[in-house]
Amino acid sequence: MLILQAAPEIVMEAAETTEPTSMNLWTMARYGGPIMIVLALMLAFGVYLFIERMITLKQASTEDKSFMNRIKDYIYDGKIESAIKLCREVNTPSSRMIEKGISRLGRPMNDVLVAIENVGNLEVAQLEKGMVIMASISGGAPMIGFLGTVTGMVQTFYNMSINNSGMIQLSDLSSGMYQAMVTTIGGLIVGILAYFAYNYMVSRVDSVVRNLESKTMEFMDILNEPTK
């Protein structure tokens, strides 16, 4: 029968010689083992991806409010080249869609709309680039943390099994238990942050997509509006 006990003289000596230390995130991470390195890399890549996507989405949603009015004036005046030049200068997802529509002027309206929608699908795909990775981080990080928990418990039981003294010291349990708990915390932190970042990115993409749809409808209205 295994008995958990500690010699009184050892406990007293430890109390006299060991000063209390505070636990912080860095100290916790050190106890997490190799799993924490994987989680740290996932966190770093997730932060990079989030910042890069936010910059891209901000650029995609920034647009001159007079853009469509200028396009309308150019089309009504027959200045097709000037309209295309303006679209290229603005260089946003909506302007690239409008440019494709302008290049199809003279064809049936359905062909113009299909050309715009095809460009729009490509633009949306570019906006959503990397979001699958962010979703994978949000779901995978807690799983990896749980893997660290299992390996930590395995380490704990292994230390117990190789102890031939008949007594289990706290040191036999602490390293594995630390790893088990710390990796769980680390995985949850990374997963929660990635989850909220992913949902925020989705909302921003949806906002840009709605703007693209409104610009498409406005452009088609310009083409269908009778000239004065």
Q: What is the pLDDT of residues 88-127, one digit of tens each?
A: 988 889 899 999 999 888 888 888 899 999 999 999 999 9
Q: How far apart are CA 56 and CA 53, in angstroms?
A: 5
Band the pLDDT of 137: cuts 50, 70, 90: very high
pTM listed for this prediction: 0.75
pLDDT tens-digit series, residues 169-214 = 655 556 566 777 788 888 999 999 999 999 999 999 999 999 899 8
Name which of 10-19, 25-34, 118-127, 160-169 the model is least confident about: 10-19
Angle between helix 67-76 and helix 170-224 axes, rounded to 10 deg = 30
Cα torsion through 199, 202, 206, 212, rounded to 10: 160
Average pLDDT, the chain: 80
Sign of the C-alpha dihedral, residues 210, 211, 216, 222? positive
Specify whether the CB–CB gap between 123 and 97 falls below 8 A. Answer: yes
